[in-house]
Amino acid sequence: MTDLLSGIRVLDLTNVLAGPYCAYQLALLGADVIKVEAPPGGDLARQLGASPELNKAGMGASFLAQNAGKRSVVLDLKQEADRERFLNLVATADALVENFRPGVMDRLGLGHEKLKKVRPSLVYCAISGFGQTGPMRGNPAYDQIIQGLSGIMSITGTPETAPLRVGYPVADTLGGLVGAFAIAAALVRQKTSGEGAFLDVSMLECTLSALGWPVSNYLTAGVQPQAMGNENMTAAPSGAFRTGEGLLNIAANKQEQFVILCGLIGRPELASDPRFAERETRKENRAALKPLIEDALAGAPAAVWEEKLNRAGVPAGRVLTIPQVLQERQVTERRMTTRFQEIPGMDKPLTVVRGGFMVDGAAPVPAGPPPRLGAHMDDVFASLPARGKGRARA
């Protein structure tokens, strides 16, 4: 069984990426995630993605990526009647996640203090760019803003090209993962003590936390991180190398791995060259070492070298495109994707990715496809009791 969160109800009031990705992780683990969307269009991600047709249908590719397994209801929280319906829903919930700017829920009369009176054990998770306090709390925050402020862009690219944005919304994704982790931890306390929690998740802080090594090198050693392209600052040879066909990442970080690498590429003398014989001298002379290794690798394609080096204990891997990695046996055999054949609003099957782990040898997969806007109004509200009359599952 992969439904580790079976019986848990989560209200997802979020938009676009960080919050929806957070709630998607919980849905993958069996939580009943109810997506509460605002009229008229719901989650903005419904209109975002590479397909204009899907965007027009309210099923944009960006929405499809992290909303499978959820149910959708539409409530206008600016209207008194819908606020009351929402509070009835809160009375049945274990957790709630929102990613509005700080203060928005309070102005709606639906902040944490209000909701915990309705549901004292509620785990309330607020994901924002900068957190609920501090001088930047009210600033709008998109992923690229956080990437720039966090220092990620300053160390991405080469010395000539940096600063560069990481090629996907890494700050949003980190915020979502941390939010899901925090909610799961708070649910453990909730189930043992009945106590709720207010979780204040800052995307900036999540990103800084994930920048462990660069931040630590500065804080503890006074070394300011620099952009190094595909090179690894901690070791050499460790980076991306040209081969006879394609790029190959090699991480010969240990001394014995470097010696084995030199033998496998037919250049055993490099291991005893004074410039490369020791870890620190290799780092100092990486610019001279790299072309020598690439000359030797030119005799075969990256795939051949990948198999040969890994078999000998030297970590190596081809540099793949997204389509290529999705076709890799390692990915397909572990069921990293799930396919839905019939999706309302779509004229073809839909494939989505799951989370990055398995449970007891099984892959957690979403219970259903991403929902059409408001598709579950009847399911959710038909048997919902008025507040104070007990909890019912829709």
Candidate list 32, 43, 143, 172, residue with the active-site label: 172
CA-CA distance, 314 to 251, in Å (whole number)? 7
Of 119, 42, 31, the C-alpha closest to 75 is: 42
Report DSSP letters for 110-146, one per residue. -SHHHHHHH-TT-EEEEEESS-SSSTTTTS---HHHH
Annotated catalytic residue 172: yes
CB 183 within 8 A of CB 190: no
* Range 360-363 contact pairs with CB under 8 angstroms and sequence separation of 24 or more: 360/1, 360/2, 362/1, 362/2, 363/2, 363/334, 363/335, 363/336
* Residues 199, 148, 159: CA angle, nearest 5 degrees: 140
Neighbours of 348 (CB within 10 A): 8
The two structure tokens encoding residue 116:
């915990």
> Coil, strand, or helix at residue 241?
strand
Which positions are catalytic? 172
